[in-house]
Homo-oligomer: A and B are copies of this chain.
Amino acid sequence: MNSCPFCLKIQTLAQQLAPDCVWEFPHSHLFLGKWQFYHGYCVLVTKTHARELFDLATEERAALFEELTLAAKAIHLAVTPLKMNYELLGNQVPHLHWHLFPRFESDPEKLQPAWLRLARAEQDPHALAQAMAGPETPEKTRARIRNQLQQLGANSS
């Protein structure tokens, strides 16, 4: 597992809290992601290195799903989007992780998956800058989501 970038990130966390970590749940870490055009966009990474949902034990999967739900609810309360998008892909890094994209009324592409904008961002510096720019500093967004998790009584570990 040593070559898995998410396993390496989690090992680093054991030594010092990564600045992008919003919350450590018992079975996962919630990180603020770089695509802050989707204000509040986070990635929830499982502590266990597993490729597919059905590779986890039932009990761990159930706990993880509640962490996912709580994370989504906290983000939703923090940034009040129109809708949340939840995506578990792993095509590039096959270690279970959920992309949590808040989607907003103001987005002219709100009916489409976020990936169309992000594909353009990878081709064009202007689109990249736009996709990464949020309406406030990442510190403020992390604090906003963390505050909601605290109010929801989320477990930390």
Residues in A lying within 8 Å of B, measured CB to CB = 51-54, 58, 61-62, 65-66, 68-70, 72-73, 76, 83-92, 94, 103, 110-113, 115-116, 119
Contacts and interface: CB of A to CB of B under 8 A. Distances in A.
Given A65-B61, A116-B116, A86 B85 contact: no
Copies of chain A in the complex = 2
Contacts of A52: 72-73, 76, 83-84
A72 to B, nearest CB: 6
Contact of A115 (B68, B70, B84, B113): B113
Contacts of A111: 91-92
Given A54-B73, A119-B112, A119-B116, A90 B83 contact: yes
A112 B90 CA distance: 10
Contacts of A89: 83, 85-87, 113
Given A52-B72, A72-B53, A76-B54, A91 B116 contact: no
Nearest to A53: B69
A91 B103 contact: yes
